[in-house]
Structure 1
Amino acid sequence: MKQLLFSAAGNVAYAPGSGSMIRLGGALAAAGRAGGSAVGEDGDAPSSPVEQGQSGDVALWGEANDFPQQVLKSLESNTILPSVLEWKTRAVYGGGVVYGRVTDYDAGGNEVFKRERLPDVEAFFRRSNIARYAYEGLQNLFTYAQSYPELIQSLNKQKITTLTTQDTAFCRYSVPKAGQAVPDLVHISANWPDAKLGDEFTTSVPVLDPYYDPVEALKADTRGFKYVYPLALPSPGKALYQLASWNSIRRSGWLDVAQSIPEFKAAMFKNQLSIKYLIEAHEGYWKWKYPDWDTKVTEERRRIISDELSEFEKTMTGVAGAGKSILSLTITDPRTGEPISAFKVTAIDDKIKSGLHIEDSQEASSHIYTALSVDPTLVGISPGKGMGAGSGSDKRIAFNNFISTHRFHQDLILEPLYLIRDYNGWPADLEFRFLNPLAQTADVSTSNTSTATGGQPDAYPTDN
């Protein structure tokens, strides 16, 4: 009898003699350490740390299970974050997803990538609307550092017919077990943190382990016809839900500073526009002009003051008052014998015109762009006195550097397509790429930059 070949996870075995695939469930787990051990070529399964303290059916994302919803509130209250995150998505998406084969390597070691058109792949791309899948997947990665692609199988489970992606904010894992590489389920609902498992608004979908032999695991899995293949950007110290690096701007307080400045200025606009001058009238003036002032009743005093100030304002305001002189009346203080000014006029300093808090706004904006890893010249001018969009060269270099440092994000989004390629029996050497348009100077001919090399087949010219 020929020896059985076991998968690394220990849940699937293959009998070479009969060509049978055998699903073992947890049969091998009892013989190993907690969580099971893999038997086969590797000898063991990769370690899978699981954080203690979770209970129930849903692994909480944040103390109130509403962390993604709190992130959305922060995005909606800021003028930079949403647009720059969208810009990052558009820039990395570039010309979209294509497929083909690497036919050679040039002298610099770059891939010579030749695009192809295969009927089965074309049909799959149309059915799945791969453009939407890729864009939404990148958007989820940049916002939350994780994305949840969903694979749908045919009724006979011989093919994967559709690839889509779920909104990360709507996804929550089931509570993982000790030693479990990934939780059993992803619960999908638009009603977190108030969603209820089992109701008509919540769907629970099995999860595939993206780290180890997902093709064979999917072939042996009988839990249904659709599965989540989770993707995530590594986040140090996070065992389950990852944390986007830009989130530090929320914890640092700089996002609060950026938001408080427009609120403060709005209040200034509302309250300061009606106050241009401060007029101070010395009490001695009224006794000097009206010797019987002390005997006058309050209502009469108020009328006299109102009439005097109305006449004074006629001199201060309106076109008719332009160019007029203001009489500065000086009287003698009967108590001290010192001269005093009857009226003192002080112009209220317009803090808005003087650019109050512009420097604070610039500093807060700088911290936000840094957290997002985007050069401000790529998006537009920075708020503040020293506004400038940067030169064409600055933009070109910054853009090319930006694209070249996001290959991993692209590879992560393309990862499920390689699983589908192997599962569906497409050519084994079929490769998937994003078209990365690199910026060139206007004097560089684009005729030599349209060849798919190094995974970056197209280039768009820009002014220098």
Structure 2
Amino acid sequence: MDILYNKEGVPLMMHSDIAFYDTKLDKQASDERRRVLFPYDDTRHDFIEVAGQRVLAWGKDNLFPCHASDIVRNTTVLNTGLRFLRNLTMGQGIFVCRVKGYNDKGDEILEPADDQAMQRFVGSRLVRRYMEKTLRDFLKVGLSAVQFVPNAAGNKIVGLNTINSHYFRFTEPLDTLGSQNCVISGSWDLSPSSYSILPLLSDYSPENHAELLRFMGKMKGGFVYPVRDSWSNDDIYGEPIWWPAYVAGWVDIAHMVPQFLKKAYKNQTTWKWHVQIPYSFWDKKFPTSEFEDTELRRQSIDKYMSSIEKNLLGAENAEKPIFTNYVVNEMNGRIEEEWKITPLSNKYSAGQENLVTSAAANSEILFSLMVNPNVLGAGMPGGSYAGNQGGSNIREAFLVNIANSWIDRQNILDPLQLYMQLNGAPEDLQLRFRNTILTTLDTGAGTSHQLS
């Protein structure tokens, strides 16, 4: 509470020190904030010298994966949508099989492989952990790096380790063939003092590159297989699938609406009352004769008005009554010293509109992920984003998601196929996913299982 007094200590005007503010970013500041996600630009020479090799910066400050993780973590629908895509892409796991032919519909005729060692391998925690972590970075930051771990002799691969995106960076091409290295370090905010360097497999033919490393005896230390989506046209790091929704500002809106509503509900009574206090009230309530000086009187008035403000402010006190006294002038019959507390017309009526805006932001973020909002129960009851949330709509959207996941599934299966190839598995062995498909009740079952 801030009160303006005259020189005699009479309060003239008051305003509350509890208020809701919003910060507006200008375009330049907004662009600078978003530029942290921009990919490498060779005109700026963003690189770090490590062991005589130029490591390309990932983002403006080389900390893009950290910033991206924070954005995903703090945006509910983005976090949930990416987690949904990860779980959907993994399906119900993978299995080893042989393709025996095709039926009249063009579907593959699959025969489970009798190789028990390979079946145990694809069902192991190593593979499950690899798929989960690879998809995590693939969806969050647009790139994942899979380390092939060899045995001590360097003639066999014994493990797959997905390197956390916070810790790896790629060098610029080292020769005309485009050879690169992967540099791994625990700290990238400064030039790393401790690191390890592994060969990065060629994006053109990783299988032949791996065979070449083995032939040259360079497989003993292992190598890294990059898993990326080439849609961004960035051959180094790529961009995450949710990047357009961030650039357009929908992620910011998804943050701002709940923050605004929280403060609006908490402070909603601050704009509901107009309190008018007559000057004569202060002479009777705080007579100057009872105070040694004007400053002590001001302090007492401040304390009193703060208690009155608390009575009118906040969601918990919104319904509290306030009691005042008044005096009738016996000379003219007029009421004096009466407090007038008038309810103001509440101009804030944007609660429903804000909820619609929030739902639109959630829908736009899910659209950028190619996820139908109805699958997550986010369909809106009316307006431009209205959708039928019935079972058929959800089933069809779920099937579309599975169909769209084919390329992502192949991307994460490629390192597993190479693992099998380097360890001598027959060339005709293939990896396929298990899916749970939603069905209607008239089929006699709620779900059915399919292979893809």
Instruction: Give the TM-score normalised by structure 1.
Output: 0.69
2:185 is matched by which residue type in structure 1? S
Q: Provide the residue aligned with 1:16 in structure 2.
A: none
Deviation sequence 1:402-422 (CA, Å, 0-9, x none)? 111110000010011222232
* Among candidates 207, 212, 216, match of residue 211 of structure 2: 216
Return 79-88 or 188-197, whichever deviates more.
188-197
Q: 1:227 Cα deviation (Å)?
A: 0.9
Query: Aligned equivalents of 2:121 and 2:297: distance in 1?
Result: 89
Q: How does 1:359-370 map to 2 (within 5 A)?
A: 359-370=356-367
Q: 1:163 Cα deviation (Å)?
A: 2.0
Could you tell me whether the CA contact under 8 Å between 2:140 and 2:240 is conserved in 1?
yes
1:104 is aligned to 2:120: no
Deviation sequence 1:374-425 (CA, Å, 0-9, x none)? 1111123368999998211111111011111110000010011222232222
Q: Provide the residue aligned with 2:254 in structure 1.
A: 258
1:426 is aligned to 2:419: no
Q: How does 1:75-94 map to 2 (within 5 A)?
A: 75-94=72-91
Deviation sequence 1:256-300 (CA, Å, 0-9, x none)? 22212222233334434577533223559999x99xx99999899
Q: Could you say if the C-alpha distance between residues 143 and 389 of structure 1 is closer, same or farther in structure 2, counting changes exceeding 3 Å?
A: farther
Could you tell me whether the CA contact under 8 Å between 1:173 and 1:186 is conserved in 2?
yes
Deviation sequence 1:359-387 (CA, Å, 0-9, x none)? 33222222212222211111233689999
Other structure's SS at 1:443 match: helix
Query: Aligned equivalents of 2:301 and 2:227: distance in 1?
Result: 78
1:251 is matched by which residue type in structure 2? V
Query: Aligned equivalents of 1:138 and 1:374: distance in 2?
Result: 16
Q: Provide the residue aligned with 1:242 in structure 2.
A: 238
Other structure's SS at 1:428 match: coil
Could you tell me whether the CA contact under 8 Å between 1:96 and 1:134 is conserved in 2?
no
1:245 is matched by which residue type in structure 2? I
1:223 is matched by which residue type in structure 2? K
* Among candidates 200, 205, 209, match of residue 207 of structure 1: 200
* Among candidates 162, 165, 168, match of residue 162 of structure 2: 165
Q: How does 1:49-198 map to 2 (within 5 A)?
A: 53=45, 55=47, 56=49, 57=53, 58-122=55-119, 124-125=121-122, 129-183=126-180, 185-194=181-190, 196-197=192-193
Percent identity between matched residues is: 23
Query: Aligned equivalents of 1:395 and 1:413: distance in 2?
Result: 26
Which blocks of at least 5 consecutive residues in structure 1 are unaligned?
Answer: 1-49, 456-464
Q: Provide the residue aligned with 2:27 in structure 1.
A: none
Query: Aligned equivalents of 1:196 and 1:301: distance in 2?
Result: 60
2:429 is matched by which residue type in structure 1? L
1:421 is matched by which residue type in structure 2? M
Higher helix share: 2
Other structure's SS at 1:204 match: strand
Query: Aligned equivalents of 1:432 and 1:341: distance in 2?
Result: 86
Query: Aligned equivalents of 1:189 and 1:162: distance in 2?
Result: 20
1:358 is aligned to 2:361: no
Could you tell me whether the CA contact under 8 Å between 1:124 and 1:162 is conserved in 2?
no
Query: Aligned equivalents of 1:156 and 1:141: distance in 2?
Result: 31
Could you tell me whether the CA contact under 8 Å between 1:97 and 1:432 is conserved in 2?
yes
Q: Could you say if the C-alpha distance between residues 247 and 147 of structure 1 is closer, same or farther in structure 2, counting changes exceeding 3 Å?
A: same
Other structure's SS at 1:230 match: strand
Q: Provide the residue aligned with 2:18 in structure 1.
A: none
Q: 1:330 Cα deviation (Å)?
A: 11
Could you tell me whether the CA contact under 8 Å between 1:99 and 1:432 is conserved in 2?
yes
Q: Could you say if the C-alpha distance between residues 344 and 404 of structure 1 is closer, same or farther in structure 2, counting changes exceeding 3 Å?
A: same
Query: Aligned equivalents of 1:304 and 1:420: distance in 2?
Result: 79
Q: Provide the residue aligned with 2:403 in structure 1.
A: 404
Q: Could you say if the C-alpha distance between residues 54 and 257 of structure 1 is closer, same or farther in structure 2, counting changes exceeding 3 Å?
A: closer
Query: Aligned equivalents of 2:68 and 2:269: distance in 1?
Result: 35
Q: How does 1:221-300 map to 2 (within 5 A)?
A: 221-225=216-220, 226-272=222-268, 277-281=273-277
Query: Aligned equivalents of 1:258 and 1:273: distance in 2?
Result: 25
Query: Aligned equivalents of 1:304 and 1:429: distance in 2?
Result: 88
Q: Provide the residue aligned with 1:40 in structure 2.
A: none
Q: How does 1:368-383 map to 2 (within 5 A)?
A: 368-381=365-378
Q: 1:124 Cα deviation (Å)?
A: 3.8
Query: Aligned equivalents of 1:120 and 1:303: distance in 2?
Result: 84
2:204 is matched by which residue type in structure 1? Y
2:274 is matched by which residue type in structure 1? L
Query: Aligned equivalents of 1:406 and 1:352: distance in 2?
Result: 42
Q: 1:168 Cα deviation (Å)?
A: 2.2
Could you tell me whether the CA contact under 8 Å between 1:362 and 1:384 is conserved in 2?
no
Other structure's SS at 1:229 match: strand
1:238 is matched by which residue type in structure 2? D
Q: How many residues matched? A: 387
Which blocks of at least 5 consecutive residues in structure 2 are unaligned?
Answer: 1-40
Deviation sequence 1:324-381 (CA, Å, 0-9, x none)? 99999999xx9xxxx9996543325394894462233222222212222211111233
Other structure's SS at 1:80 match: helix
Could you tell me whether the CA contact under 8 Å between 1:396 and 1:439 is conserved in 2?
yes
Instruction: Give the TM-score normalised by structure 2.
Output: 0.71
Q: Which has the larger radius of gyration?
A: 1
